[in-house]
């Protein structure tokens, strides 16, 4: 196995086989993994907000689902991935706190998932698997060798999608 590359909050990274990508403690944020099964070039995005057009301060592309996926595809194709072959797996978008008054920012997980899926559809990227929503945090690892997306949570068995 290669190196494990860490992706921070509002961050994205791309890698080649046999490296792997990880992001720790996804809450309402969404982890979008893109993969070219032929070249095995992989990318992982940890985005926080659904829509860059709604926010004035939007210089950090990886903060948003829409511009984050654009940038991830750009970097992956620059590395040699073929855009038409890309497939996706997503995880995260939980609602960490059950609040009685549903403030918009607390439903952001759900909106992040919708935004990410819409963006993928726009690019005609097939969504192979997802582990989204509910109320718990996730640590994810994406292995470029196999295309496995491994999801770990507190007090739950490890899941591979």
Q: Which residues bind other proteins (CB under 8 A)?
A: 8-11, 24-29, 48-49, 55, 57, 60, 63, 94, 96-101, 103, 105-106, 108, 135-139, 153-154
- Kindly name the residue from 15, 29, 47, 132 that is annotated as catalytic: 29
**Is the CB of 39 or the CB of 75 nearer to other proteins?**
75
Minimum separation from the CB atom of position 8 to other proteins (A): 3
CB 36 within 8 A of CB 100: no
Degrees to nearest 5, angle at CA 77 with 76 and 82: 110
CB 72 within 8 A of CB 63: no
Minimum separation from the CB atom of position 127 to other proteins (A): 22
**Is the CB of 139 or the CB of 146 nearer to other proteins?**
139
Catalytic residue at 29?
yes
Q: 8-46 in b/e burial notation, b at 16+ Cβ within 10 A?
A: eebbbbbbeeebbbbbeebbbbbbbbbbbeebbbbbbbb
Minimum separation from the CB atom of position 26 to other proteins (A): 6
* Closest by CA position to 40, among listed 18, 12, 22: 18
The residues that are catalytic are 29
């Amino acid at each position: 196995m290669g190196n494990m590359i860490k992706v921070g909050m509002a961050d994205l990274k791309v890698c080649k086989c046999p490296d792997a990508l990880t992001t720790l403690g996804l809450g309402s944020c969404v982890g979008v993994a893109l993969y070219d099964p032929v070249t095995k070039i992989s990318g992982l995005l940890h985005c926080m907000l659904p829509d860059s057009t709604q926010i004035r301060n939007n210089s950090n592309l990886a903060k948003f689902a829409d511009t984050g996926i654009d940038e991830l595809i750009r970097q992956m194709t620059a590395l040699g991935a073929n855009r038409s072959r890309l497939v996706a797996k997503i995880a995260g978008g939980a609602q960490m706190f059950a609040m009685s008054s549903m403030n918009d920012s607390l439903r952001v997980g759900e909106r992040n998932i919708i935004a990410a899926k819409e963006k993928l559809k726009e690019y005609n990227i097939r969504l192979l698997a997802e582990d989204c929503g509910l109320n718990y945090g996730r640590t994810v690892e994406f292995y470029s060798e196999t295309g496995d997306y491994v999801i770990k949570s507190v007090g739950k068995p490890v899941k591979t999608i």
